[in-house]
Amino acid sequence: MTRVDPGIEPGDGPDAGVGTPTDAAAPHGDSGAAVAAAVAKHVLDVPDFPETGVTFKDLTPLFADPDGFRHVIDAVVEHHGPDSFDVVAGIEARGFVIAAAVAYATGTGVVPVRKAGKLPRRTISASYSLEYGTATLEVHEDAFHRGERVLVVDDVLATGGTAEATLHLVERAGGSVAGFSVLLELGFLQGRQRLAPRPVHALLTL
Ligand SMILES: O=P(O)(O)OC[C@H]1O[C@H](OP(=O)(O)OP(=O)(O)O)[C@H](O)[C@@H]1O
Ligand SMILES: Nc1ncnc2[nH]cnc12
């Protein structure tokens, strides 16, 4: 199946909400420069979203690009190697997209880590703050088997609040975090430090 490019270029239309290519002069990350460049190519910076002062990194063009998407999923799978985790936890919302593809490629399953109030059965929850506000994440209390090795995936690691809350949920639910994979890390926000000593794998670090 060939996807027709909608032909929208950064800078088309009114400025507000269009986005500009992210500034990654020498792209680097934990899977090497080529993978980092493949991510950077499809990231748009959206100023003042969702609130004034925040530059939002929009990865939806990366998900929509067939080569880009395949490239990043392959890089995550390759990094972790066979039999290094039992299940993939995807963080709502964009982490779901990555988790499903990684799980399919590795013959594992997906556990959704959801925003509060979305899961139908008994949950455990953890609240946290991020660049723009506070939120609560939940998993079903029986989401993980005891000792199950969990790969946690998301699109962006910024302050690390979201990932750290997920770490606590996995551990409280009886699992153990084998590692984190993100497509984009905002290194200046030092989220990685909050997750130490668990391994963090970022395809592009800005
Ligand atoms: O490292 P942190 O500072 O915690 O930020 C990272 C989180 O922020 C974004 O999600 P967001 O909370 O915007 O939710 P959404 O995916 O539902 O839009 C992103 O997808 C990560 O989950
Ligand atoms: N600047 C940002 N862009 C995209 N997702 C984010 N999550 C937290 N900060 C973010």
Fold of 83-205: Rossmann fold (3.40.50)
Has 94 been annotated as catalytic? yes
Range list for CATH 3.40.50.2020 in the chain: 83-205
- Is residue 72 a contact partner of residue 101, using CB atoms and an 8 Å limit? no
CA 109 from centre of chain: 17
Give the model confidence (pLDDT) of 174-197 as tens digits: 999 999 999 999 999 999 999 999
Residue of 154, 107, 103, 158 whose CA lies nearest to 132:
158
User: Cα(45) to centroid of ligand 1, in Å?
Assistant: 15
Give the model confidence (pLDDT) of 42-76 as tens digits: 999 999 999 999 999 999 999 999 999 999 999 99
Q: List, chain by chain if needed, residues with CB within 6 Å of any ligand 1 atom.
A: 91-94, 130-131, 135, 154-163, 191
Provide the b/e sequence for 162-196 (b: ≥16 CB within 10 Å). Answer: bbbbbbebbeebebbbbbbbbbbbbbebebbebbe
User: Cα(121) to centroid of ligand 2, in Å?
Assistant: 29
Residue of 43, 45, 42 whose CA lies nearest to 54:
45
Omega cis (within 30) before 116: no
Active-site position among 51, 114, 121, 131: 131
Residue of 34, 5, 40 whose CA lies nearest to 21:
40
- Map tokens 């290094």 to a residue: 84
Q: What is the DSSP letter of 126?
A: E
Has 171 been annotated as catalytic? no
pTM, full prediction: 0.93
Average pLDDT, integer, range 93-100 = 98
